[in-house]
Amino acid sequence: LINYWAHYGIHEDALRRFRVRSLKRYESISAEGRKFELYGSPTEPMFAYIGNGYVKIYRPHSPKIRFLYGGRMPATYCFGMEQIPAKGDMLFITGGEKDVMSLASHGFSALTFNSETANIPESIFEDLSKRFSKIIFLYDTDATGRKESELRVQQYREKYNVFKLDLPLAGSKSEKDISDFFRLG
């Protein structure tokens, strides 16, 4: 299952560093109180992003349930915060965990707040702006990603050194984010 990640330049060391595990089975209880199980396979892999007291399940090829959350999610979900350096020149804010790991595997600092439409608390943004010279929104090239990156730059540009980067990709399901950019070479 490591091959799934390797297409994006993500290798075992990055998966370990970001606490990502491959799962054969996930068992939990639904909000309605019913027990359920999900299974991973070579054709439909299942991965877990493991946080402190929670887990985010990722099933990239699932037609129904691609993401699932278990445990106690933090008030502000931020994947990659523990892995970024104390200071740096550039920080990329992306739309997803795979994008964060792709960027980190290529030598860039990155994090995500779970989606492009997520609200970033001002206190966190202020802290990040003190640690990094430039904060760059690198969202998907679909309509939502382009709109949200523009909104974030407008929201923060008066106070912080923020930019957006639009990738030269089609915006289709298989060609829309930085992970696809790396996969395509």
How many other C-beta atoms lie within 10 A of the C-beta of residue 146?
Answer: 16
Looking at residue 177, the DSSP 8-state letter turns out to be S
The pLDDT of 103-118, averaged and rounded, is 95
**Angle formed at CA 45 by CA 27 and CA 148, multiple of 5 degrees:** 95
Closest to 168 in 3D by CA, of 148, 149, 146: 146
Helix H or strand E segment including 50: strand 47-50
pLDDT given at position 173: 85
By C-alpha distance, which of 130, 45, 57 is closest to 91?
A: 130
For 142, the enclosing helix (H) or strand (E) is none
Which is higher by pLDDT, 140 or 171? 140
Provide mean pLDDT across the span 5-18. 96
Over the stretch 22-36, which tens digit does the pLDDT of each residue have?
Answer: 999 999 998 899 999
Residues 81, 132: Cα–Cα separation, whole Å? 13
CB distance 165 to 153 below 8 Å: no
3-state helix/strand/coil string of 87-131 = CEEEEEEECCHHHHHHHHHCCCCEEECCCCCCCCCHHHHHHHHHH
Asked if residue 1 has pLDDT above 70, the reply is no
pLDDT digits (tens, 9 = 90+) for 41-99: 999 999 999 999 999 999 999 988 899 999 999 999 999 999 999 999 999 999 999 99
The candidate with the shortest Cα–Cα distance to 107, out of 14, 2, 7, is: 14
Pick from 24, 22, 20: nearest CA to 38: 24
Q: Model's pTM, two decimal places?
A: 0.94
Question: What per-residue confidence (pLDDT) applies to 179?
Answer: 95
